[in-house]
Amino acid sequence: MTEKYDAIIIGAGVIGAPIAYELSKMGYKTLSVDKLHDAGEGSTAASCAIVRAHYSTEDGVATAYEGMKYWLDWANYLDNVQDEKGLAKFMNTGSLLIKSQGHDWRKVKGHYDAVGVAYEEWDNKKIEKMIPVINMWEYWPVKRPEDPAFFDPPTQKLEGGLFCPEGGYVNDPALSTHNIMRAAEKYGARFKFNCEVADIRSENNKAKGITLKDGTQFDADIVVNAAGPHSFKVNQMAQGVFETCNIKTQALRHEVMHCPSPEGYDYLNDGYHISDGDVGCYYRPEVGNMFLIGSEDPDCDPQVWPDPDAFYAGEGGPGESKELSKAQWKAQCYRLGRRVESLQVPEQPRGVVDLYDCSDDWIPVYDKSDMDGFYMAIGTSGNQYKNAPVVGRMMAELIDAVEKGLDHDQNPYQYELKYLKGRTFDMGFYSRKREINYNSSFSVNG
């Protein structure tokens, strides 16, 4: 007999698991399926798990600052569930946004003021005191080491930065997702792993369930696509869905590098998360007293958009394997080396390679679809990890409202934030039908 559920969530990563959790708390019988062996073991496990407030839009800042409150109160969010693996930890280092031409920081500051984000303005002297290994010279525009101008001496200083005391990173993104799974199971949610979805079944433009690659079928009138880098492939399985989304998603190869902290500087315990658009990098502390270095997608960095199935199978063309690209590894480490002159770049590359699930404007789609009962939480990679608890609650409320008759396309759902009291969020901002948002940074910054 085919198993029947109220809702099936495709993907048990950091976006899918909170949706299952919140729907289960509302009384829905949910099933989450994932092609891997456990929750959070896909692209979530490779996430830098950075928690910071700066985004290019006011709504993005509001969502991120709301999400931060969940991470600061993690055990309570999980309803004090017990996880045999322990609980993930939010490392509240604080987050520094360097004032540079690589960020529209004045706009960000305006968003901070509008939302009520707690922040301080640090001048160069304060930054160099708090982070003694860095200099505040301007190196703009962002360049690659092969550029003849890369090592030109700087001629002027930057303007300081915006420091948020609430900010940092989560020490284990896969564990944080496992925590959410255990919390969801407490409310009856079921999770099945090693399950690859082959088809979204429908009847008269109404979702009816999923079929796995091995032929197994599960029935549900609600199906949620939270499949990360495979999201566009799942949309293509649902008749008429991919074609009617104005905003599309695709998988982008992305790398982060690990470099030892300069001798004598305890970056792991004394450092901050820093977003440095002047050198096109973000960096945060990593286990082993390392700098974790990610790219902020400057124009000079090439982008590779692989087939996710080929990528994870270790197949495909050049640049699609999970090995570090020596050219990109050198670019990111050398750019940080301009800011941290005592950085000792090792000869052997070390870091992580995985895929982002990117939308056309790097702003996610949290929405229904043109198929009744089929919903999407996609285009989330790179900058939505921090928002995951908010997304779970927001998507659950949207699904419940639409299933009860709301015409979300004509009358977008108004989500009331839990922590930022009195602030209501128009979910039309994340619509599949929207035009490309040119206020976006079109990068990992969102």
Q: What is the pLDDT of residue 313?
A: 86
Give me 360's structure tokens: 């056309």
pLDDT in tens, 276-303: 999 999 999 999 999 999 999 999 999 9
Residue 432 scores a pLDDT above 90:
yes
Q: What is the pLDDT of residue 19?
A: 98
Query: What stretch(es) of the chain map to CATH 3.30.9.10?
Result: 92-167+250-359
Give per-residue pLDDT as tens, 227-282. Answer: 999 999 999 999 999 999 999 999 999 999 999 999 999 999 999 999 999 999 99
Is 80 exceeded by the pLDDT of residue 319?
A: no
Of the chain, the percentage scoring pLDDT greater than 90 comes to 91
Q: What is the DSSP string of 294-312?
A: EE---TTS------HHHHH
Q: pLDDT at position 349, please?
A: 87
Task: Check residue 295 and give its pLDDT.
Answer: 94
pLDDT at 86 over 80: yes
H or E element: which one contains 217?
strand 217-225
Which tokens in the block code for residue 349?
Answer: 């590359």
Beta strands at 217-225 and 206-212: parallel, antiparallel or unpaired: antiparallel
Q: What percent of the chain has pLDDT over 70?
A: 99
Of 14-18, 153-157, 264-268, 434-438, the range with the lowest mean pLDDT is 434-438
Per-residue confidence (pLDDT) for residue 317, from 0 to 100: 65
pLDDT at 353 over 80: yes
What mean pLDDT is predicted for residues 145-157?
Answer: 97
The average pLDDT across 66-74 equals 97
pLDDT higher than 80, residue 120: yes
pLDDT at 320: 72
16-30 tens-digit pLDDT: 999 999 999 999 999
d(CA 323, CA 297): 19
Helix H, strand E, coil C: the string for 335-377 is HHHHHCCCCCCCCCCCEEEEEEEEECCCCCEEEECCCECEEEE
What is the pTM for the complete model shown?
Answer: 0.97
- Binning pLDDT at 50, 70 and 90, where does residue 446 land? confident
Work out the average pLDDT over 98-118: 97
Per-residue pLDDT, averaged over 62-68, amounts to: 96
Alpha helices in 116-256 (DSSP H): 124-130, 173-185, 231-237
Query: What fold does the segment set 92-167+250-359 form as a domain?
Result: D-Amino Acid Oxidase; Chain A, domain 2 (3.30.9)
Please state which architecture CATH assigns to domain 3-86+172-249+360-430.
3-Layer(bba) Sandwich (3.50)
- CATH 3.50.50.60 intervals, the chain: 3-86+172-249+360-430
The pLDDT of residue 316 is 67
Q: What is the pLDDT of residues 398-421, one digit of tens each?
A: 999 999 999 999 999 999 999 999
pLDDT at 318: 58
* Average pLDDT across the chain, whole number: 95
Q: Phi and psi of 382, rounded to 5°? A: 90, -40
Query: What pLDDT score was predicted for residue 315?
Result: 77
